[in-house]
Chains A and B, each alone.
Chain A
Amino acid sequence: MSFPTRRKILKSLLLGGSAMAAPSAVFGALYGRGEGMPWEPMKGQPPYYGTQEDNFFTAEERATTAVICARLIPSDEDGPGATEADVISFLDRQMAGFYGRGQHWYMEGPFAEGTATQGYQSEHPPAQLYRYALAELDNYCRDRHDAAFAGLSEAQQDEILKGMDEEEITFEGVSAKAFFDLILKNTIEGYFADPIYGGNRDMVAWQYVRFPGTRYDYRDFVKHNGARIDLPPVSLMGRPGWNSLE
């Protein structure tokens, strides 16, 4: 007995083959015609984290951004903050990728300020908004305190961030509030996202709030009746307990 070679493009008929070959002029993929659901071994769309090595920020921007993140989610006696979670690495990769480029967003003009209910209306995609806003933030700080943002005391930093949040501080070219809202959102993302994206390093944030991560079966715990459930968190790439060699 012998087996068919699989080196060729898979088409598997009754076995629920892959997409039918499309007529030459048609680019949309064609399915159906009795061919079943496409399926192939080894194929899937595992998470995209290809921007792992990329970065967007200059050294100075990176330093300032890290300081902002550390004020938004501070490290304290209660537990880890944005610094321990390495949120800055998350942000750097995000800004270097499709998100930072606003690639999936509608970024056609004309651009107008918009009302509070109309959402993000900056002409700049996220990464550029960071760049311009960080520059304006440092200008603002130098004008008033003779130091860039990173050189100020934590109390001063908090005060400035509060001013941006509450729209008491405005920038010239970009919206300080839009930037503040964005960096707060992105910092929370980096703190709590799966560690494959660079933040939440070693799942510190998940451990801190006791989120068990990417587990996919809690049937044994449905009847918890209000009791605490202790399960170590698991990331998409596992947890330390998976390794017998260490």
Chain B
Amino acid sequence: MRRLALITAFCGASFALGEGQAQELSSSEVERGRYLTQAGDCKACHTDIENDGIPFAGGRALMTPFGTIYSSNLTPDDETGLGRWTREDFYNALNEGIDDEGRHLYPAMPYPYFTLMTRQQTDAIFAYLQSLEPVQVEEQENDLPFPLNIRMSVSGWKLLFFDDEEFVINPDRSEEWNRGRFLVDGPLHCGACHSGKNLLGASKDDEYLRGGTLQNWFAPNIRGGENGGIAHWDEDDIFEFLKYGRAEHTAPMQRMGEVVAISTQFLQEEDLRAVATYLKSLDDTSREPEEAPETARLEAGEGIYFDNCAACHATDASGVPYFFAPLGTSNKLHAKDPSTVIRIILGGARAQPTETVPSMLAMPPFAWKLTDTQIADLLTFLRNTGDRRSGAVSAEAVAEMREYLAEEY
């Protein structure tokens, strides 16, 4: 694998934990703000990507389990953007989830994570956003059912689930580990997808980075310690995945692809390595093996695998590292919730191109070719090869996903 060192314009802009260290930052506040904005992946939600929207001008329709929310305009337009906001307002938004008029922001905005950022950091982000060209946009009404359409209901949610936290350094851990934890739980807001949610959309502490289901995707378990979803990844793998968009084990695809494309590929190596250090420290409990499926299903699944999948993933499922995912250890394939693999087999997937690896290797859709039962049998076989017993997948689960995708695309 070719490893190109990216020339980064953000020298010195990486995260510093102590206020004292912050003084040593050589770059301007705007540059630091831009770096933080990238780390927070703000552009992804605040740009109407589907309609070639102007970056940061908002308007992207965001589907939440409770309805559609349109992202806001972050450019300094007086009428429709942040033109009249103060640094204080902005700090309150990121730190407490309150806008300039004191209204509660919907937690689609990941302020429960951003609250870990310091005032100095939110000021830098604000300075960067204020340096953008103001864009006037047409504001769109959110499409939420009662009582969620009343912003006051958010205050109840916050009372239950939101802590206005400061980041607390764990003195027993290395500086790198602390930096990693700050990044993961703060600006990178990994748990927003990778942690399980309760019925009201708040992350559950005991599901922390053990994988989460959102909008028919399962964002896999990313704990890197013993029994974790990426226990078999080393720190270099995590770094390569976030920086280059390719690792030995897999590549970021649709949703995570967006995060890598917009955010992590531009982050500094030391920050990404800190993330890797932290994730590698998270052990998990071992999973109880599930019941062994029927032999007929395993046999059919094996045949389907050999005839369809081996051309890329190899007959022994070892794949081609960095190109086609090895399947034996995949945290998506072996997840408790198989939504993501069902979805990928039905609809296909595309490895995210990055500046370092511009290839766009794609897996084709199989929806037209394989039946629900065939896909279920294939997955059942793959989840139960070797000593793995990750459980069977039902044809009904495939049928539901097929229906969902048919509607979406």
- Answer whether A and B are interacting partners: yes
Task: List residues of chain A with CB under 8 Å of any chain B CB.
Answer: 1-17, 20-21, 36-37, 39-44, 46, 215-217, 219-220, 234, 236-239, 241-245
- A229, B22: Cα distance in complex, Å: 68
B51 interfacial by beta-carbon distance below 8 Å: yes
Per-position binary interface string of chain B over residues 299-323, scored 1 when its CB falls under 8 Å from any chain A CB and 0 otherwise: 1110110010011001100000000
Q: Which of A1, A216, A243 has the most CB of B within 10 A?
A: A1
In the complex, given contacts A37-B353, A242-B300, A243-B300, what are 13 additional A-B residue pairs having Cβ atoms less than 8 angstroms apart?
A1-B110, A3-B214, A3-B215, A4-B60, A4-B62, A13-B49, A16-B353, A36-B353, A39-B350, A41-B348, A234-B307, A244-B294, A244-B377
- A91, B368: Cα distance in complex, Å: 24
Contact B374 A242 (CB under 8 A): yes
Q: Which of A36, A40, A41 has the most CB of B within 10 A?
A: A41
Contact B257 A15 (CB under 8 A): yes
B397 interfacial by beta-carbon distance below 8 Å: no
Instruction: For B262, list chain A residues within 8 Å (CB).
Output: 14
- A242, B300: Cα distance in complex, Å: 5
Contact B110 A6 (CB under 8 A): no
- A17, B362: Cα distance in complex, Å: 14
Per-position binary interface string of chain B over residues 84-100, scored 1 when its CB falls under 8 Å from any chain A CB and 0 otherwise: 00000000000000000
B192 interfacial by beta-carbon distance below 8 Å: yes
Contact A220 B315 (CB under 8 A): yes
Closest partner residue, chain A, to B107 (CB atom): A1
B231 interfacial by beta-carbon distance below 8 Å: no
Contact B373 A244 (CB under 8 A): yes
Closest partner residue, chain A, to B212 (CB atom): A1
Instruction: For A15, list chain B residues within 8 Å (CB).
Output: 49, 254, 257-258, 261, 352
B27 interfacial by beta-carbon distance below 8 Å: no
Instruction: For B370, list chain A residues within 8 Å (CB).
Output: 238, 242
Per-position binary interface string of chain B over residues 280-305, scored 1 when its CB falls under 8 Å from any chain A CB and 0 otherwise: 00000000000000101101110110
- A211, B235: Cα distance in complex, Å: 47
Instruction: For A244, list chain B residues within 8 Å (CB).
Output: 294, 296-297, 299-301, 373, 377
Min distance, Cβ A82 to any Cβ of chain B, angstroms: 27
Closest partner residue, chain B, to A4 (CB atom): B60
Min distance, Cβ B63 to any Cβ of chain A, angstroms: 5
Contact A243 B373 (CB under 8 A): yes
Instruction: For B365, list chain A residues within 8 Å (CB).
Output: 41-44
Instruction: For B110, list chain A residues within 8 Å (CB).
Output: 1
7 A/B residue pairs, CB under 8 Å, sorted by A: A1-B192, A5-B63, A37-B360, A42-B409, A43-B365, A217-B314, A219-B315
Instruction: For A1, list chain B residues within 8 Å (CB).
Output: 108, 110, 189, 192-193, 214
- A41, B404: Cα distance in complex, Å: 13
Contact A4 B350 (CB under 8 A): no
Given A3-B215, A14-B262; A46-B349 close (CB under 8 Å):
no
Given A6-B408, A244-B296; A42-B347 close (CB under 8 Å):
yes
Given A4-B62, A13-B47, A16-B360; A215-B349 close (CB under 8 Å):
no
- A2, B310: Cα distance in complex, Å: 35
Contact A4 B409 (CB under 8 A): no
- A6, B49: Cα distance in complex, Å: 10
Per-position binary interface string of chain B over residues 202-229, scored 1 when its CB falls under 8 Å from any chain A CB and 0 otherwise: 0000000000001101000000000000
Instruction: For B315, list chain A residues within 8 Å (CB).
Output: 217, 219-220
- A216, B313: Cα distance in complex, Å: 12
Min distance, Cβ A162 to any Cβ of chain B, angstroms: 41
Closest partner residue, chain A, to B203 (CB atom): A1
Q: Which of A6, A17, A216, A220 has the most CB of B within 10 A?
A: A6
Per-position binary interface string of chain B over residues 55-95, scored 1 when its CB falls under 8 Å from any chain A CB and 0 otherwise: 00000111110001100000000000000000000000000
Instruction: For A234, list chain B residues within 8 Å (CB).
Output: 307
Contact A39 B50 (CB under 8 A): no
B255 interfacial by beta-carbon distance below 8 Å: yes
Contact B61 A42 (CB under 8 A): no
Q: Which of A2, A36, A37, A245 contacts B69 (CB 8 A)?
A: A2
Min distance, Cβ B394 to any Cβ of chain A, angstroms: 13
B45 interfacial by beta-carbon distance below 8 Å: yes
Closest partner residue, chain B, to A9 (CB atom): B50
- A11, B61: Cα distance in complex, Å: 13
Min distance, Cβ B144 to any Cβ of chain A, angstroms: 11
Min distance, Cβ A134 to any Cβ of chain B, angstroms: 36
- A220, B315: Cα distance in complex, Å: 8
B141 interfacial by beta-carbon distance below 8 Å: no
B3 interfacial by beta-carbon distance below 8 Å: no
Contact B350 A243 (CB under 8 A): no
B52 interfacial by beta-carbon distance below 8 Å: yes
- A236, B368: Cα distance in complex, Å: 11
B367 interfacial by beta-carbon distance below 8 Å: yes
Instruction: For A237, list chain B residues within 8 Å (CB).
Output: 369
Min distance, Cβ A11 to any Cβ of chain B, angstroms: 5
Instruction: For B348, list chain A residues within 8 Å (CB).
Output: 41-44
Given A37-B360, A39-B350, A245-B373; A2-B64 close (CB under 8 Å):
yes
B6 interfacial by beta-carbon distance below 8 Å: no
B156 interfacial by beta-carbon distance below 8 Å: no
- A180, B326: Cα distance in complex, Å: 52
- A3, B110: Cα distance in complex, Å: 12
B405 interfacial by beta-carbon distance below 8 Å: yes
Q: Which of B61, B303, B360 contacts A5 (CB 8 A)?
A: B61
Contact B360 A241 (CB under 8 A): no
Min distance, Cβ B156 to any Cβ of chain A, angstroms: 19
List of 4 A-B pairs having minimum Cβ-Cβ separation, nearest first:
A1-B192, A41-B347, A216-B311, A244-B300
